[in-house]
Amino acid sequence: FFALKFTSLQMAEESDHLTLRELASARPRPVHIGAAVWPSHIYEEPDTFGAILPKEFNSITLEAHHKWKDLLADERNGGVYNYETADRTVEYAMHHQMEVKGHVLCWPEHMPEFTRKMAKSKLREALLDHINQTMRHYLGKVSSWDVVNEAFRTDGTGRETSSILSKHFGLDYVADAFHAAHQADPNCKLLYNDCTILSAGYPKSNAVYKMVSNLVKNAVPINGIGCQGHINAASEGEWGPPKSQGLKATLRQYGKLGLTVNVSEMDVRTSELPKSKISQRDSIQAMVYGNLLSTCLAEPNFTGLTTWGVTDKHSWINDFFGADRPLLFDENYEKKPAYYAVANSLGHTEQNGIKSVFKSLKNKFR
């Protein structure tokens, strides 16, 4: 803990004026550093949330407003879309020269209500129409899409979901979705996204890898993998902090398939750690963020990291699991040790060391 705290303070002292966005962009191989957002927070808190977002991050993902049923004016009727909120956020990102990562075109467990009793042929038609319409609406504005999210159960068994898509098609809908997405926008990066797949060797991560390998083998147009990164610092196994060896194995096995990897939805829960001071829990959290990002940055097919939110104040974790501190900024928008751990990882390169990166940044951003 003390070693980490010293590193964080040292980093803060030397790079106070360097943001995560600047550090990510100045790397020899730039990466994205992104945040998932709920659009209302941008406009309701312009001096905090709205100020930090474009300063610290170069990429935006909408937490909900690009999902199929959230784009519909009424999820009981698939014919009418309402893009207004999502469009406003995409325009905001473009104004601030931020990349937009689309999330998500097909989430089997969260299908719109109108699809739930559809016949097989009609269901496939509805899914492909949705992908085509949404991607064409954002043609040239969204750089990558999570085409399919969580085709496998979250229970670690490696089994498919019990969704209506799985019931009718097994996993065949995954390839269909990627083909439709590529046809709608051939220049967009197309990703498969899932949770608990950061470390190779578990039943679920093995099942995902097998499916993706088959997609590549059959020339399905897939460009990369999103490993979500919802981590419980008090857990072990799939939900706990990934060990470097397992994480490297994940990036390298997908690299051999010619695919990129991004950490797409990172947050680190600490409330279940043994009762201790907040500062101690924050230090453990910082090590998780820093170790994960440093390991990933060493691999050439790693493209970036997105935290699932900006501030602890608005994290989904608080509603789903109970009060916690999972993100880089606390409830008062103060930078936490995890922020400095991420900055430290972004600012360091194996070839030149952290000092040379700071030097080049000071020249660039004078």
Instruction: Say if residues 260 and 223 touch (Cβ distance below 8 Å).
Output: yes
104: preceding bond cis by omega (within 30 degrees): yes
Write the secondary structure of 207-232 as one string of H (helix), E (strand) and C (coil).
Answer: HHHHHHHHHHHCCCCCCEEEECCEEE
Please enumerate in sequence order all residues whose Cβ is within 8 A of that of 242, keeping only pairs 6 or more positions apart, or say none: 198, 199, 231, 292
Catalytic residue among 22, 56, 63, 265: 265
Dihedral sign (CA 317, 18, 14, 342)? positive
**3-state class of 260 per DSSP?**
strand
Catalytic residue among 45, 56, 63, 150: 150
265 is catalytic: yes
Write out the DSSP string of 312-331. Answer: GGG-HHHHHT-S---SSB-T
331 is catalytic: no
Distance, CA of 116 to CA of 121 (rounded, Å): 13
Distance, CA of 314 to CA of 266 (rounded, Å): 14
Distance between the two ends of the chain, CA-based, in angstroms?
34
- Looking at the annotation, which residues are catalytic? 150, 265
